[in-house]
Amino acid sequence: MTILGPIIGAAIKRREQIWRVATASGATHLATPLTDRWFDLPDARAHRTTGIGVDGTSHAVLLSTGAHLVIGLACALGPDPIGQIQEADIEAMPARFDDVAASSARDLLMRSLETEVAVKAMARAVALGVPSDTIVWIDGSLHADLAHMAGGPTNVRWGDGIERAGSLMTRTRELFITAASTGTWVIGIAKTQRASVLAAALQAEMGVTGEVHVANGRLTARSGDRSGNDEADIPRPGDGEVLASMGAGWSWPLMLDASQFPVTTPLAPELLRDCPAIVSCYLRPHEADLPLRIDVPANQLGLDNQLFGPNGHSLPDRLARWVPDPAVMLPVIETVMASYGGSTAHNGPLFAVDRLVRLPRRDLETRIMPIIANVAGIAGGVLGVDRGRRRFIQG
C-alpha cells in the first residue's frame, strides 16, 4: 500500500475533475445540434474488391551519449499479385537535439515511409490494370497528416529534416493526383479524436460567439481558434467529447482545407499545389465500439474543392464547412462498414498490415540495435541505450 495509498487519495481528491473529463460533460450542449446531423448506419457494401492497407511504426531511442536514434518502417499490403511493399529508414540525431525534436523526427520519418509505400502500391495497381477497383487504406487522418507536414519545414531543425519534409509533401501530392487520374480510392481512418473540427462547426452553427455569418457557404463564427484570434472565454471541446453521447451512426461530412492548418510554411502551397481538399466525417460502427474518423479526398466524391485557394493562398477563415449533400459520402461509409471487423479489428486491411509493422520496443533495443551496430561496423557499446532505459530492459 506504500505506492497505492497516495494514488487512491489523489483519485478521491480529484474525482470531480476526473468525472468531468471522462464523461465529456463539457460537450453536452452540442448533443442536440449533432443529433440533427447524425445518420443511421447503412448496410455494409464493398464497392471495390482490392484493398491495400498502409501502416508504419517508428521509435526514437535515447542513446547513452544523449544522441537519438530514430528507426522507422512502413508496409503496404494487398492481395496477390499486389503483395507486400516495405520500406525502412534511420535518422541519427546528435545530443544537442531534445526529446521534442526527436519526436518530430520520428513522426516525419514514419509518414515519409508510409507515403512512399502508398505511392508504390498505387503504381503497382495501375500497372496491373486494377486502379478503378482499388482502395488504398491509410492509417490516420489525411487532413491531420497534411497539416503536420505543411508546417514541418518551418519547425524542423535537425539533420536532413527540411529536405525530408519537402520530399514528403511532393510524394503526397503525387499520391493524390495519381489517385484522381486513375480512379483509385484513398481512405484514411483515424482511431483517435483529438481534433475539434466537428465541435467548431457545431458551435458556429449554434452562434456561440454571437451571430453566425455565412460567406460562400462557409461558417465564419469564431471560438477557440488556434490562429491566435480566438475567444478564449468560450471553450471548444474535442470531437471525441462531442461524439461520446452518440450511438451507432455517422456524421454529416465537413470540408477541410489549408485554412484549418495551424502553421503553414511558404513551401506548402507550391509543393502541395493542386491537392484536393479533404472531406471528413465520424463513424461509430457499433454501439459498443468507439468512433472512427473517415477522411477522403474531395475529388473522390466528385467535388472540386482544393487544399489551397487561388494563387496558392489559404482561404481567409479557419472553420470547416458542411458538405452540401452528405449522400456523396454514403458509398465510402458502406465500404468502411464492409471492411469493419469489430472492436479489435476496425478495418481488415489496416489490421493485417498493423501486425506486420509492429516493432516492440524491447525487441528493438535488445535485438535490432546490436544488428544495426554490427552491419554498420560500429564498435560495441556505441549504440548503448541510456542508463534509465538500460536498467528497465535488463531487469
pLDDT of 154 strictly over 90: no
| Cα–Cα distance for residue pair 198/282, rounded to 1 Å | 9
HSE of 377, CA atoms in CB hemisphere, 13 A: 0
**pLDDT for 67:** 87
Q: What is the mean pLDDT of residues 71-81?
A: 95
Q: Residues 20-50: pLDDT tens digits? A: 777 766 677 788 899 999 999 999 999 999 9
- Average pLDDT of 93-98? 85
Q: Do the strands 134-139 and 185-190 form a parallel or antiparallel pair, or are they unpaired?
A: parallel
Contact of 298 with 329, CB cutoff 8 Å: no
Task: Compute, in degrees rounded to 10, the torsion defined by CA atoms 188, 37, 202, 317.
Answer: 60
Mean pLDDT in residue range 74-88: 96
Spatial distance between the Cα atoms of 294 and 281, rounded to a whole number of angstroms: 5
Inter-helix orientation angle 142-155/99-127, to 10°: 130
Q: Which residue's entry shows cell 447503412?
A: 42
Whether pLDDT at 226 is above 50: no
Share of the chain above pLDDT 70, in %: 85
Higher-pLDDT residue of 7 and 194 is 7
| pLDDT the model gives residue 316 | 56
Instruction: Please tell me the predicted confidence (pLDDT) of residue 211.
Output: 35
pLDDT digits (tens, 9 = 90+) for 261-275: 887 888 889 899 899
Average pLDDT over all residues of the chain: 85
pLDDT digits (tens, 9 = 90+) for 273-285: 899 999 999 999 9
CA–CA separation, 371 vs 356, rounded Å?
Answer: 19
State yes or no: pLDDT of 214 exceeds 70. Answer: no
Complete DSSP assignment for 180-236: HHHT-EEEEEES-----HHHHHHHHHHTTTSS--EETTEE---SS-TTS---TTS--
User: Minimal CA–CA distance to 321: which of 193, 159, 202?
Assistant: 202
Task: Spell out the residues 6+ positions from residue 26 whose beta carbon is closer than 8 angstroms to its own.
Answer: 20, 235, 237, 241
Is the four-CA dihedral 7, 12, 13, 17 of positive or negative sign? positive
Q: What is the mean pLDDT of residues 203-226?
A: 47
Q: Which amino acid is at 156?
A: V
* pLDDT tens digits, 359-377: 888 888 888 888 888 888 8
Q: Kindly report the pTM of this predicted structure.
A: 0.87
Confidence of residue 92 (pLDDT cuts 50, 70, 90): confident
Listed residue (285, 283, 287) closest to 341, CA to CA: 285
What are the backbone dihedrals phi and psi of residue 58, each rounded to the nearest 5 degrees, phi first?
-160, 155
